[in-house]
Structure formats: structure tokens, C-alpha cells
């Protein structure tokens, strides 16, 4: 009998088509697995996982004005969303106000425009911030958006210790894959450490960072690259906080991660299991973390936007279902399922509702929540988890050999590796070696018409008017005084910059003005080209 031809994973790891007990010869379940909720957390970070209640269902949304996004959030809550996830427009992500020259044509396009606390008030109008969990996809200006959220909560009468949610706050991956950075790496890391300290004191239930592999994957990283570079960045953040005088167990329990989930289900599940095991050992053995919560890799997952197609977009519903299933089988803590029309435009309300319904079908109509880590002990899953782990550790060692994540970023290493992998994927797709349904196989002659969501072109003008009115009505002297105090704190080395930053925002300084004050002290990042 002829054996099937072996295939390779997305990361290039061989997969034997027929595996048996020999695949796990000498394999120690106690060392590799442990019990669910116990070190090294291969089987999940909680003992019961979804058998008691499902993962948090988030839907990433934000477009146009704060009022429009607020209406979408209310719809999602009505349809059963457990947590909100905010998308910001590019000017906000880059620390520019909507009336800045560089913001022209981008206001409200890929997310909501937030220029000041007044916009944040509208964004969460009628939404009780003490009862919802909010994730904000914001990085370089993450401190500002967290403080704006806290200020709005104060005006609602909600104490900061009751706020729950996450700021992405992972600027290192911006230098690698995404590009929405503002300041150079070193002051950016200082700002991250200041956020850790501030939240421990002021907002103790907030997740201070979501260390992200998702955007690297969207840029073309393989699963192994995604995990290796993300965990290397995580190590850099932990080192920065420890160097700032924090005990690892004081901040590590609030660290979280953010990964992609692709259609290659088996490798994705193995990837999540390997990531948990590696991080547990790094935190325990390298950083001496004693609190089990410091050793847990808790993560949010988003299905793979890069795998969605504009051709036959309804097929994306099937892709997202498989991707969501992979995330659940891999033990995610929260999940966003992409809408089927996102390869065309911002999702319509109906498409966003269908994406949420996909999660609800997985949670309530299947039996995947009946038992913890259903793949545990599987020949293919355990051997693949080991293979992914070994490949990730090898790549992490290479980053460490270059001086760590920041030094490797400055050398252009991660960016070059991801670009090489992206080029490989593109060539395989063009050659037909990698099948993309509806694109290079199973095409149709004529696509059905589809009406996408369109952003109101008057948004930019209206945001400019709001800014003009804000600047006319605020106490200009109070704003200038607060910005001066912020510059002084940033120029020093010991003062936490979030306290003066919060007072500047309270005085109605804008996001752009606060970021410009920091640019004057810290400068702006100029990228190193990949070698």
C-alpha cells in the first residue's frame, strides 16, 4: 500500500500523514501537559475552560464619528456581545488630530476618530463602563486613550477600580509589521512601563498590554514566526518593567496576548498550546515568577483578515467558522470573528451580526465546550505541538542572539524574516500551489453585486468643526500649563508621565497636542530598512 505524500504546515514543518504511538515515544504527559489550569498550562489556563461558560465574545468595531460607532456598539450589546472592541482611525493611532494636514482623507475611515475627551464621551454615551469590558486597539498613544476612558468613567460616576478591559499598547510590533508608531523604541518602552505602574495603582483590573502577533501574521508571518516574535517582544516588556523597579508578580498577571487564527486548524491549535507552554517556562524559570497567574499566557484571538477574499465574499463565512473553531479548540480567552465583507469595506451591521452568530453557534450548538482541550493526547496534535515549540524556541534564540527584540528590530531582522515569508506565500498562491477558493480555483465568471458600507464623506469637516469649537471654549492657559508639566515629566527619568498626561486631557488638550508635546521631547521614530 502506497503511503500518502507528506505535507507541510504553514511554517514549513513536516506532517506525517499517518501517526501512531511511535510519534510520542518517550513522551512525558506530566511534563508536557499537566492538568488544565496548572503549569505549564498546555491544556489551558483555567481548570474548567468553557465547560462552565464560553469565551468572551468581542466584536471589533469603530468607524466614522463617535456617535456612529456608539450606535453600532449598542446594536452589538443588544445582540449578545460580551465585550466591546474599539477600532480607531489612522490619525488617532498616529497621534494626529482630525484637522492636521496629515489626517486629510483618513478621518473616520478605518476606525473611529477620537480627538479629545468630548469624542470619548460620545463614543460611550449610554454604555455603563462599570459593567462592560472594553478592548482598545491602540498602541503608540495607548496611554492617552486609556486616560480618556478613565475620565469618561469618572464623569459617569464609575470608580477606576471597577473598570475592566485591555489596551493593546504593544508598540514593538508596530516597528516590525504595522507601522503606526510615533516615538523611538526606548521612550516607547518607558511609556509602557509607566502604564504598568499607573494601572497597578489606579486601574488594577485593567489588562495593561496585549502583546500582539496578529498584525505580524497579517503582514505575512508564519505561525512559528508569529509566536516567536511575539513572545520575544513580551520578554522585552517584562525586562523593561523589572528594570524600572517593579516585581514581576506585581504586573505580569495583567499581561495578555493577541493572536490570529487561520484556516489551518491543526497547526493553529498546536501553536496556541505551544505558546502557553513556552511562556509559562520563561516566566517561571527566567524571571522567577511565583504567582501562577504570572505564568499564564492569556490571549484574545481574531480570525484571519488576511485570508478573507473580495471574490465570492460569502465563502468567508465558512473560513471564519473554521478559524473560530481553531481558536476555541486552542483555548482562547476571547474571540473576534471577522465579518464576511471585510475584504471589501467596513462591515455592514448585518455582516457584523452574522459574525457574532458564528461564535454563538460554536458555543451553544456544538459540543466543543463539553470538555477541556479535546485534542490532548492526540498523536498528531502532541507531536505537532512539540514541533512548533522547538521551531519557536530556535527563532527566539536567534532574536536573543541579536541582543533581544529591540536590538533585532533596530537591525530590521523580524521585518525581513516576515517579508521573506510573505513573498513565499504570494508566489505559492500565484503558482496555484496554495489553493485559495474563488481566487485561483473554483472561480465564477461574474460576481454577484454587493453594496458595501460607505463612510460619510462629511465626517472630516464635522470633526474639524468640533475641534475648532473645543479649542475656542476651553481654558487655553490651563491646557498650556498642563502640556508644559507633561514635557517636564517626559524630559526627566523618574516621574510617571501618565499623571500630567491625564491632567492635560482633563483640561481638554487634544490627542494630537499631547502627542506633539511628547514628540518635542522624545523625537519620532525613523525606521531601519530591512536588510
Looking at residue 456, its pLDDT comes to: 81
Residue 531 has pLDDT above 60, yes or no: no
Residue 2 gets which letter from DSSP? P
The gap from C-alpha 13 to its chain's centroid, in whole angstroms, comes to 26
DSSP string, 109-145: SSSB---SHHHHHHHTTT--TTT-EEEEE--TTHHHH
Query: How many angstroms separate the CA atoms of 447 and 433, rounded?
Result: 24
Banded model confidence at residue 2, pLDDT cuts 50, 70, 90: low
In 26-78 the beta strands, taken as DSSP E runs, fall at 56-61
Lowest model confidence (mean pLDDT) among 17-31, 215-229, 268-282, 441-455: 441-455
Residue 53 gets which letter from DSSP? S
pLDDT tens for each residue of 353-390: 999 999 999 999 999 999 999 999 999 999 999 999 99
Query: How many angstroms separate the CA atoms of 325 and 479, rounded?
Result: 49
Q: What are phi and psi of 170, to 5 degrees?
A: -110, 85
Query: How many angstroms separate the CA atoms of 355 and 320, rounded?
Result: 8
Helix (H) or strand (E) holding 302: strand 299-303
Residue 64 has pLDDT above 80, yes or no: no
Of 184, 192, 188, 230, nearest to 209 by C-alpha is: 192
Query: How many angstroms separate the CA atoms of 379 and 16, rounded?
Result: 10
Q: What are phi and psi of 509, to 5 degrees?
A: -65, 150
Distances (CA, A) of 469 to 3, 472, 479: 73, 5, 15
Of 208, 87, 94, 85, nearest to 141 by C-alpha is: 94
* Mean pLDDT over the full length of the chain: 93
Distances (CA, A) of 57 to 106, 165, 178, 358, 451: 29, 13, 25, 10, 27
Residue 20 has pLDDT above 80, yes or no: yes
Query: How many angstroms separate the CA atoms of 135 and 169, rounded?
Result: 11
Portion of the chain with pLDDT greater than 70, in percent: 98
Residue 278 has pLDDT above 80, yes or no: yes
What's the whole-number mean pLDDT along residues 461-480?
A: 97
Residue 211 has pLDDT above 90, yes or no: yes
Instruction: Name the region of 165 (left: φ>0; alpha: ψ -120 to 50; beta: rest).
Output: left
pLDDT tens for each residue of 146-179: 999 999 999 999 999 999 999 999 999 999 988 8
Instruction: Establish whether the linkage from the previous residue to 354 is cis, with ω within 30° of 0.
Output: no
Looking at residue 216, its pLDDT comes to: 97
Looking at residue 324, its pLDDT comes to: 98
Looking at residue 450, its pLDDT comes to: 78
Q: Strands across the sheet with 164-167, in order?
A: 206-207, 164-167, 133-137, 83-87, 56-61, 334-336, 299-303, 255-261, 209-212
- Alpha-helical (H) ranges within 282-378 are 292-295, 315-329, 349-364
CA angle 301/392/275 to nearest 5° reads 35
Lowest model confidence (mean pLDDT) among 11-20, 228-237, 387-396, 483-492: 11-20
Residue 61 has pLDDT above 70, yes or no: no
Find the length of the chain.
531
pLDDT tens for each residue of 74-96: 888 888 776 788 989 999 999 99
Query: How many angstroms separate the CA atoms of 276 and 102, rounded?
Result: 41
Looking at residue 407, its pLDDT comes to: 95
Looking at residue 365, its pLDDT comes to: 98
Residue 445 has pLDDT above 90, yes or no: no
More confident residue, 197 or 457: 197
More confident residue, 68 or 524: 524
Helix (H) or strand (E) holding 259: strand 255-261
Residue 5 has pLDDT above 70, yes or no: no
Amino acid at each position: 500500500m502506497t503511503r500518502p505524500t507528506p505535507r507541510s504546515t504553514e511554517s514549513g514543518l513536516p506532517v506525517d500523514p499517518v501517526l501512531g504511538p511511535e510519534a510520542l515515544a518517550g513522551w512525558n504527559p506530566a511534563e508536557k501537559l499537566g492538568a488544565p489550569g496548572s503549569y505549564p498550562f498546555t491544556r489551558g489556563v483555567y481548570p474548567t475552560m468553557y465547560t462552565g461558560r464560553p469565551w468572551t465574545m468581542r466584536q471589533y468595531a469603530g468607524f466614522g464619528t463617535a456617535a456612529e460607532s456608539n450606535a453600532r456598539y449598542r446594536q452589538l450589546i443588544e445582540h449578545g456581545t460580551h465585550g466591546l472592541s474599539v477600532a480607531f482611525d489612522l490619525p488617532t493611532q498616529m497621534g494626529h488630530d482630525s484637522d492636521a494636514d496629515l489626517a486629510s482623507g483618513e478621518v473616520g475611515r478605518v476606525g473611529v476618530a477620537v480627538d479629545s475627551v468630548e469624542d470619548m464621551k460620545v463614543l460611550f454615551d449610554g454604555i455603563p463602563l462599570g459593567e462592560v469590558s472594553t478592548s482598545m486597539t491602540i498602541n503608540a498613544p495607548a496611554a492617552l486613550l486609556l486616560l480618556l476612558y478613565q475620565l469618561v468613567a469618572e464623569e459617569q460616576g464609575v470608580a477606576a477600580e471597577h473598570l475592566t478591559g485591555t489596551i493593546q499598547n504593544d508598540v514593538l510590533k508596530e516597528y516590525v509589521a504595522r507601522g503606526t508608531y510615533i516615538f523611538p523604541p526606548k521612550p516607547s518602552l518607558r511609556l509602557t512601563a509607566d502604564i504598568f505602574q499607573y494601572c497597578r495603582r489606579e486601574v488594577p483590573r485593567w489588562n495593561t498590554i496585549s502583546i500582539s502577533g496578529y498584525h505580524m501574521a497579517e503582514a505575512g508571518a508564519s505561525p512559528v514566526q508569529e509566536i516567536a516574535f511575539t513572545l520575544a517582544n513580551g520578554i522585552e516588556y517584562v525586562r523593561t518593567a523589572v528594570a524600572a523597579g517593579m516585581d514581576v508578580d506585581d504586573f505580569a498577571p495583567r499581561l495578555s496576548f493577541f493572536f490570529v487564527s487561520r484556516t489551518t486548524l491543526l497547526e493553529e491549535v498546536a501553536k496556541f498550546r505551544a505558546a502557553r507552554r513556552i511562556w509559562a517556562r520563561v516566566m517561571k524559570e527566567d524571571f522567577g515568577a511565583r504567582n501562577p497567574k504570572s505564568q499564564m499566557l492569556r490571549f484574545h484571538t481574531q480570525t484571519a483578515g488576511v485570508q478573507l477574499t473580495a471574490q465570492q465574499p460569502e465563502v468567508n463565512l465558512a473560513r471564519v467558522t473554521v478559524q473560530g473553531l481553531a481558536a476555541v479548540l486552542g483555548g482562547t480567552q476571547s474571540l473576534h470573528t471577522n465579518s464576511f465583507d471585510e475584504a471589501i469595506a467596513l462591515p455592514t451591521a448585518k455582516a457584523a451580526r452574522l459574525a457574532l452568530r458564528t461564535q454563538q453557534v460554536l458555543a451553544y450548538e456544538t459540543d466543543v465546550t463539553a470538555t477541556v482541550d479535546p485534542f490532548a493526547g492526540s498523536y498528531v496534535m502532541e507531536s505537532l505541538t512539540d514541533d512548533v515549540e522547538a521551531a519557536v524556541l530556535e527563532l527566539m534564540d536567534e532574536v536573543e542572539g541579536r541582543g533581544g527584540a529591540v536590538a533585532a528590530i533596530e537591525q530590521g531582522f523580524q521585518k525581513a524574516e516576515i517579508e521573506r515569508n510573505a513573498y513565499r506565500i504570494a508566489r505559492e498562491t500565484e503558482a496555484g500551489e496554495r489553493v485559495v477558493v474563488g481566487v485561483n480555483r473554483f472561480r465564477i465568471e461574474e460576481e454577484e453585486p454587493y453594496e458595501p458600507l460607505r463612510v460619510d464623506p462629511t465626517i472630516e469637516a464635522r470633526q474639524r468643526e468640533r475641534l475648532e469649537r473645543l479649542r475656542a471654549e476651553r481654558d487655553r492657559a490651563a491646557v498650556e500649563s498642563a502640556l508644559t508639566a507633561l514635557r517636564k515629566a517626559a524630559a526627566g527619568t523618574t516621574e510617571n508621565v501618565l499623571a500630567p498626561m491625564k491632567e492635560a486631557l482633563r483640561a481638554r488638550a487634544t490627542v494630537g497636542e499631547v502627542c506633539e508635546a511628547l514628540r518635542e521631547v522624545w523625537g519620532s521614530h525613523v525606521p531601519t530598512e530591512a536588510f
